[in-house]
Structures are given as structure tokens and as C-alpha cells.
Copies of this chain bind each other. A is one copy, B any other.
Amino acid sequence: MGLPPEVTIRDVGPRDGLQPEPPLAIDDRVSLVRALTDAGLRHVEVAAFVSPQAVPAMAGAAEVVASLDRCPGVTYVALVPNQRGAEMALETDIDELTVTISVSETYNQRNVRMTVEESVAEIAAVCALSSPTPVDAVVSCSFGSPYEADVGPAKAVALGGRLLDGGATRITYADTTGMATPRRIAELGHALGDAPGDVGLHLHDSRGTALVNAYAALELGLTRFDTAVGGLGGSPFAHGAGGNLATEELVALLDDLGVTTGVDVDRLVTAALMVEDLIGRPVPSGVAHVGPRTRVAPNA
């Protein structure tokens, strides 16, 4: 079908996924990360070095990283909001950092209380102090903003270019509130040009479009995706903040399309059901509940 032979998946469930939830015990967060690496994931966002007052679910980031039951070959990633967060993260043995910035001025100011220009400078400073630890800059609202009409893939790619110039290792374009469609993904591809390089997509499912957007991106040759086990993330109360693309739904689809992920979907379903137990309510993912298409009905 002309799709790439393999893709790289970063599970952001233990960070972006758990962030809006009531805080879990450190041990449970560590066990979840281990369940994900046992399923074959080689990139996992495990913590955020943010204020525990602002984000109670992310308290104890250093302890999480110190407690990781490490697997060889896995890149453990942490989000840092600024230089102070980066300093704290770099005191641990974290492998890579993520930073965020929004192409939407309003969203950026509400999210990190900086202008976009201030965030560009802050990210350059984070990259400088973190080197040689890689820094992935996540550009939120890359496919639209609930606040401004004039943001979109072209503006996001221009901002991504500035972040690479400022020292970011790679860029991940985020559909923060589920506004992407295959048309917007194509616009991103057009803005990136013939040599997209190491470009990732971070997709949310607010409007049911996360998987179709991933598929459209695959058709364009993009091969790096952020997902969250169970489809965790977002909030039923925040406008447009739906959960992340569910890791097991992407893997189940790619398995049938013949695209290699290195991830075992059945083990991933086990991890999703572990999350369900931990948070005490059903996760949004369908595959978590009915399994991949290859699973025969239990009562057949």
C-alpha cells in the first residue's frame, strides 16, 4: 500500500496521559512504564519536572526516574517546562527531554505564562544547558487553535525551524485539541517539503480523528508518533482536550497494515487494563477492551 516499513512510537501515557488524573503512587507509575517497555516500546515519556502544586499527578518526577526498572535500548524521556525543570531533570539519569511551545500565542501564554518569543528563547537556553542530552520540542496547536484562526501547519513548521536553529534535536508537531484532519496533515507535509527529516506527530482524539490523521501521515511518509496507552489524556471538562491517540489502537492498525512497530499488542492491552485499574475507570481505547482484530471471541 506504499506505506513506510516501520514506525517509531513514543508512549506518553505515564506523563501526558496521567497528568490530568488524580496522583498515582510512584511505584504504580514505575510499574506502568515497565509494562510499556515489556510490551516493546523503546521510547517512553515517564515524568514531568513541573511544579507539584500546578500538576499534582506529576509530583515525584526525580523519584520516578530514579526508581525506573530500566530496560536496555529504551529511551526514557521527561518533560521540562523551563531551565529550572531541565536542571532538575539533568540531575537524574534521564535520556532525553521534551519541551513544549505553542504556535498559538494565547494558548502558549495560558499554558506556560510566556509569550511565544519568550518560549523560543527559553527553549534555546534549555537546549544549551542540556547538551548533549537530546531535546525534542513539541509544537502544540500545530493544526489549529481553539483561540486563533491564523495558526496552522505552515506557521508551526516555521516555528519548528527556529527551534532547530536554537538547538532542539528534533520537532514533534502536536494536535493538542484534536483539530487536525488529513487535509491539515497534508498541509504539514507541504510545509515541511521534500526532506521532512526527524518529524514526529503528537495526536489527540477529541474529534475521533487521531487514527485517520496517523494514517494520512503514514501515507505521506511520516514515521514517528506520540501515543498514550489506553488513549489516556485530556479531560472531559476542558474544551477539545480529548485523550491521546491510543497506543494499542495504532499498533493494532499497523500490525494489519504490515508496518513494523516492535510492539506486542497483547502485552500493550495488558498495560492498558493495568492503567484502567489504577485510575479506576475505563480507558477510551476500544482495542483495550475487545483486543486486536486477530482475537477470536472468548465465547465463540
Residue numbers of A with Cβ under 8 A of B are 1, 106, 144, 146-147, 177-179, 181-184, 186, 205-212, 214-216, 231, 236, 239-240, 242, 246, 249, 252-253, 256-258, 285-287, 289-290, 292-293, 296-300
Contact = CB atoms under 8 A, between A and B. Distances in A.
Nearest to A181: B256
Contact of A207 (B1, B177, B249): B249
A287 B1 contact: no
A240 B207 contact: no
Given A178-B293, A208-B231, 15 more contacts: A1-B183, A106-B300, A146-B296, A177-B290, A205-B286, A207-B249, A207-B286, A207-B287, A208-B210, A208-B211, A211-B212, A215-B216, A236-B289, A239-B297, A242-B286
How many copies altogether?
Answer: 2
Which DSSP category, helix, strand, loop or mixed, fits chain A's interface? loop
Contacts of A106: 300
Given A212-B212, A297-B240, A286 B182 contact: no
